[in-house]
Amino acid sequence: MPRVLVNMPTQHAGRPSGVALVAFRVIAGLVERGSVSVVLRSPWTRAQLPAAIRDRIEVVTVARPRIMLLDVLRQAVTVPRLCRSLNIDVVLNADPYGAAFGGRARVSVVHDLYFRTMPERTRSREARTTDPIFRLVLGNSARVIAVSETTRADLGRHYPFLRDRTRTVPSAAMLDPAATDPTFAVPEGPFVLAVGNALYNKNFATLARAVAALARPGIGVVHVGEDPDEAIAAALGDAPVRLTRLSRIGEGQLAELYRRALCLCVPSFAEGFCLPVLEAQTLGCPVLCSDRSATPEIAGAGALTFDPADAASLTACLSRLIDEPGLRASLIARGYENARRYDWAETARRYETLLLDALRDAAREHPAREVPHAHPAP
């Protein structure tokens, strides 16, 4: 049975980021399929891992690096050594900040290219270090997995030498649709829900301005995530809009928010995939999302789209959702249908296929050598 090293050194231990959650779901799916064995190399300890994979894989715990470029160079030496000691066949880098060498082949996952697609918001030092990392790690990968067609197109545009080896494998909703928390006090009144840390690409200030311009008494904003710069509050200004901030809440609490929200709003300038769209659709929450980047691709027909640079465009969508009879029910129905297009079992199958394809290619490129003085077969 081929042995796969899932390499994920960049993620904080015990803090389930999107990259980590996707990796854990993929690992669970690969283990369930039973065609490969998995070793996880990451800062996570066995005790911190999800129960679904905790006792079904081997675990190598490493410290999270402080300087990514130096660690990628270090991995070029340490990961091949680890692969030899553990008899690893193929390395699956959970993101591009992984191993350029090691195993018989490597497959790497790309979640976004913000440093390329949003260069005006990327520090010059970050761009100078990220680009060589992508070129080194992805250039030495037999297969590259993009999480959306949008991300695949971005890769092809900025790194044309990767086009022939890049495949799109989407994720799926992670939130259990049956999750609930009857003790959770859901904010009162109708509210627009925003999910994610308030980074520049999320563009939550436009959401705040649009809700303020809506001028509908009682409609508030609930933000799940971190907002250290108070971007949402600053954009609301003195508008009489109720703002509720929540962070690090449980699955049941988030599910309750989706069920009770007027809608989920995703005003992002750029997204590599955007899991909250599928979570909302799975739980019957209407979606309003940006018409840019990957959000319209992922949302499909189950969303109203708007120009994220134009708050008035979003205000108009909110007004339609409130005023047009039947629109909310239609969005919910189309959302359920769209979410069914994404399935973790299918995601795992496609990962498995690409991993095994990479191994077959490596076998063809490096066939077993004949031993010069071996005795001939009888």
- CA pair distance 99, 8, nearest whole angstrom: 9
DSSP symbol at 374? P
Q: What is the pLDDT of residue 194?
A: 98
Predicted confidence band at 104 (pLDDT cuts at 50, 70, 90)?
very high
| Other Cβ atoms within 10 Å of 263 Cβ, number | 25
Q: Are 293 and 314 a contacting pair, CB within 8 Å? A: no
What is the separation, in whole angstroms, between the first and last Cα of the chain? 29
Please state which of the ranges 84-88, 198-202, 257-261 shows the lowest mean pLDDT.
198-202
DSSP symbol at 336? H
Predicted confidence band at 124 (pLDDT cuts at 50, 70, 90)?
low
Q: What is the pLDDT of residues 162-201, one digit of tens each?
A: 999 999 999 999 999 999 999 999 998 899 999 999 999 9
Domains, the chain: 3-172+343-364 (3.40.50.2000), 191-339 (3.40.50.2000)
Q: Own/partner pairs for 211-217, CB < 8 Å, 24+ apart? A: 211/236, 211/239, 211/241, 211/315, 211/318, 212/236, 212/237, 212/239, 212/241, 213/311, 213/312, 213/315, 214/315, 214/318, 214/319, 216/322
Q: What is the pLDDT of residue 374?
A: 38
Q: What is the pLDDT of residue 365?
A: 78
* Mean pLDDT for the chain overall: 94
| Other Cβ atoms within 10 Å of 218 Cβ, number | 11
Amino acid at 6: V
Q: What is the pLDDT of residue 118?
A: 87
CA distances from 109 to 91, 301, 317 (A): 11, 27, 34
Q: What is the pLDDT of residue 122?
A: 65
| Strand pairing class (58-61; 105-110) | unpaired
Predicted confidence band at 366 (pLDDT cuts at 50, 70, 90)?
low
Residue 274, pLDDT > 80, answer yes
| Other Cβ atoms within 10 Å of 364 Cβ, number | 8
**Coil, strand or helix at 244:** strand
Q: Are 39 and 5 a contacting pair, CB within 8 Å? A: yes
Handedness of CA 308, 313, 316, 317 (dihedral sign): negative
Predicted confidence band at 378 (pLDDT cuts at 50, 70, 90)?
very low
Q: What is the pLDDT of residues 6-26, one digit of tens each?
A: 999 999 999 888 999 999 999
Residue 28, pLDDT > 90, answer yes
Q: What is the pLDDT of residues 128-144, one digit of tens each?
A: 889 999 999 999 999 99
Q: What percentage of the chain reaches a pLDDT higher than 90?
A: 89
Classify 99 in phi/psi space as left (phi over 0), alpha (psi -120 to 50) or beta.
beta
Predicted confidence band at 371 (pLDDT cuts at 50, 70, 90)?
very low
Residue 370, pLDDT > 60, answer no
Amino acid at 254: L
Q: What is the pLDDT of residue 60?
A: 98
Q: What is the pLDDT of residue 81?
A: 98
Q: What percentage of the chain reaches a pLDDT higher than 70?
A: 96
Q: Which residue stretches of 34-179 are H helix? A: 51-54, 68-86, 114-117, 124-139, 149-158
Q: What is the pLDDT of residues 282-320, one digit of tens each?
A: 999 999 999 999 999 999 999 999 999 999 999 999 999
Residue 204, pLDDT > 50, answer yes
